[in-house]
């Protein structure tokens, strides 16, 4: 893999990279905590722009979530990614970072590293070969930024010492002028997810928006689900919706019937909006008035009701649906009263279920909620009240839809923080006139919070 393809355009890079006085003192300009998608991107950008960076992770294998994503092919972005595809208590927060680092920017990086991709569905881009290529690309970008690695390194505690951050680890303390927290969310603890990022936020007085599993299978009560159990394996595109007002979510996606309930992209998408105790509504006719369609067909068709419906859905599903409505699938619609067809149509358009719960963080792809964005600058990701403390990626209260949006947020927020932190280093180096960062770095005004 080539080492000289920058994550940022050459024009944005410093003319020369000189060892900083902080480096001579064994102090880093920036410590990035968490070597996942956001952390690696941030470290690479900051390093390539002249900052001396250390990237720390408690795991020994890098970026495990990239590796397992997209069925091993990593759905690394979505061509249509924009603020409307993200959930947050503060929906405009993600706008600035997403506008400044777009899917096209990430594709340019992929092209420079000769990583081939394809579009699968609705703008979702996957690697042709393997998610490992994305990890290797980011590793090479970190190499180009001369990033120092500390993997298998658990940070027990973060302290403020003077203007520096002091990270206590079993391998000795790490001192840095700035700290970027990129520890991700709570999903899939068995591959290294922890709540450490939220704890650091709380330690420094930053509020947390309540966290919960998102993009997660919903569970359904066994008895209520029993009539649909024989449908396991069927799938159909549906409209699915839940919630009201600002909390409302609605998608057109594939729904999958399983032995345990409903699943597939439709359920994962809506799970991010679902609140316990509330219903989800499924439209098996994707917006078309099913009752009107049945009544129109009543006089013009010689097909049995089951066969008629099978034009719109798998035959087994059509039969099950007639049965649930108390109608014989072998009857001609012509022989059925309008009232019965209207009732069937309404049920097809508005199938309501109340899930009993979710499968939790063990199965969730992401975590909704996190560090409250009102406490962060949307242009730099820096905490407004704590100079040089940054939060990026999934640990922040920005949650994308299914389909590559979460990685796009990780890249965009990582680039925003990486550039901002390096800009601070450069500003101090210029102010000191000798082209090197000094220990006064943190005493200078950080890039203004916006």
Chain contacts with ligand FDA (rule: CB under 6 A): 33-39, 56-59, 63, 65, 68-70, 74-75, 154-155, 182-184, 187-188, 192-194, 196, 365-366, 393-394, 404-407, 410
Do 294 and 367 contact (CB within 8 A), yes or no? no
* DSSP-assigned letters across all residues of 169-189: -TT--EEEEEEEE----SS-G
Q: Which is nearer to ligand FDA, 74 or 348 (CB)?
A: 74
Q: Which is nearer to ligand FDA, 54 or 410 (CB)?
A: 410
Distance CA 364, CA 16 (A): 44
Residue nearest to ligand FDA according to CB distances in the complex: 36
- The H or E element spanning position 67 is helix 64-68
Distance CA 184, CA 172 (A): 24
Distance CA 441, CA 177 (A): 7
CB of 74 to ligand FDA, least distance (A): 6
| Residue corresponding to tokens 């591959």 | 191
Q: Which is nearer to ligand FDA, 36 or 306 (CB)?
A: 36
CB of 151 to ligand FDA, least distance (A): 9
CB of 55 to ligand FDA, least distance (A): 10
Cα torsion through 277, 211, 82, 44, rounded to 10: -160
CB of 194 to ligand FDA, least distance (A): 4
* DSSP-assigned letters across all residues of 4-54: ---SS-GGGS-S-----HHHHTT-EEEEEE--SHHHHHHHHHHHHTT--EE
Distance CA 34, CA 13 (A): 24
CB of 163 to ligand FDA, least distance (A): 23
Q: Which is nearer to ligand FDA, 75 or 380 (CB)?
A: 75
CB of 57 to ligand FDA, least distance (A): 4
Q: Which of 165, 195, 140, 355 is nearest to 266 (CA)?
A: 355
- The angle at the Cα of 448, spanning 443 to 450, to the nearest 5 degrees, equals 150
Distance CA 373, CA 370 (A): 8
Q: Which is nearer to ligand FDA, 155 or 305 (CB)?
A: 155
Do 218 and 357 contact (CB within 8 A), yes or no? yes
Q: Which is nearer to ligand FDA, 65 or 419 (CB)?
A: 65
Structure tokens at 287: 């917006």
Q: Which is nearer to ligand FDA, 70 or 177 (CB)?
A: 70
CB of 61 to ligand FDA, least distance (A): 8
Q: Which is nearer to ligand FDA, 317 or 364 (CB)?
A: 364
CB of 380 to ligand FDA, least distance (A): 17
CB of 36 to ligand FDA, least distance (A): 2
| β 280-283/351-353 pair status | antiparallel
Distance CA 125, CA 73 (A): 9
Q: Which is nearer to ligand FDA, 169 or 356 (CB)?
A: 169
Label residue 115 exposed, middle or buried (CB < 10 Å: 0-12, 13-18, 19+): buried
Helix, strand and coil percent figures for the chain, each rounded to 5: 40, 20, 40
CB of 38 to ligand FDA, least distance (A): 3
Tell me if residue 134 falls in helix, strand or coil: helix
CB of 368 to ligand FDA, least distance (A): 11
Q: Which is nearer to ligand FDA, 167 or 447 (CB)?
A: 167
**In this structure, what are the phi and psi dihedrals at residue 396, rounded to the nearest 5 degrees?**
-85, 155
Q: Which is nearer to ligand FDA, 125 or 282 (CB)?
A: 125
Q: Which is nearer to ligand FDA, 127 or 322 (CB)?
A: 127
CB of 393 to ligand FDA, least distance (A): 2
Distance CA 176, CA 29 (A): 5
């Amino acid at each position: 893999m080539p080492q000289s393809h920058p994550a940022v355009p050459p024009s944005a890079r410093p003319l020369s990279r000189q060892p900083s006085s902080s480096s001579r003192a064994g102090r880093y300009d920036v410590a990035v905590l968490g070597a996942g998608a956001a952390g690696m991107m941030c470290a690479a950008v900051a390093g390539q722009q002249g900052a001396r960076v250390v990237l720390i992770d408690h795991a020994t294998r890098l970026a495990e979530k990239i590796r397992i994503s997209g069925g091993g092919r990593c759905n690394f972005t979505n061509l249509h990614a924009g603020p409307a595809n993200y959930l947050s208590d503060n929906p405009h927060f993600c706008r600035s970072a997403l506008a400044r680092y777009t899917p096209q920017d990430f594709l340019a990086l992929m092209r420079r590293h000769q990583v081939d991709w394809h579009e699968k569905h609705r703008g979702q881009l996957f690697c042709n070969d393997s998610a490992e290529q994305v990890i290797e690309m980011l590793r090479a970008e970190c190499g180009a930024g001369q990033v120092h690695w500390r993997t298998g390194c658990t940070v027990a505690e973060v302290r403020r010492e003077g203007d520096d951050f002091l990270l206590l680890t079993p391998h000795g303390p790490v001192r840095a002028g700035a700290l970027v927290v990129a520890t991700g969310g709570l999903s899939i603890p068995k591959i290294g997810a922890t709540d450490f990022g939220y704890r650091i936020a709380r330690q420094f007085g930053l509020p947390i928006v309540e966290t919960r599993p998102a993009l997660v299978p919903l569970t359904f009560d066994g008895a209520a689900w029993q009539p649909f159990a024989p449908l396991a394996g069927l799938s159909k595109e549906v409209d699915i919706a839940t919630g009201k007002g600002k909390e409302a979510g609605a998608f057109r996606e594939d729904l999958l019937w399983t032995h345990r309930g409903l699943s597939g992209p439709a359920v994962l998408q809506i799970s991010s909006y679902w609140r316990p105790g509330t219903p989800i509504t499924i439209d098996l006719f994707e917006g078309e008035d099913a009752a009107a369609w049945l009544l129109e067909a009543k006089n013009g068709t010689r097909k049995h009701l089951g066969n008629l419906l099978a034009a719109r859905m798998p035959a087994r599903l059509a039969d099950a649906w007639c049965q649930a409505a108390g109608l014989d699938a072998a009857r001609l619609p012509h022989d059925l009263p309008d009232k019965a067809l209207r009732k069937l149509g309404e049920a097809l358009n508005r199938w309501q279920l109340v899930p009993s719960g979710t499968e939790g963080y063990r199965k969730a792809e992401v975590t909704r909620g996190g560090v409250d964005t009102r406490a962060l600058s949307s242009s730099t990701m820096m905490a407004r009240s704590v100079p040089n403390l940054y939060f990026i990626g999934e640990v922040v209260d920005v949650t994308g839809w299914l389909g590559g949006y979460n990685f796009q947020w990780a890249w965009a927020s990582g680039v925003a923080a990486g550039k901002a932190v390096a800009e601070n280093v450069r500003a101090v180096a210029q102010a000191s006139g000798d082209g090197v960062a000094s220990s006064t770095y943190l005493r200078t005004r950080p890039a203004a919070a916006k």
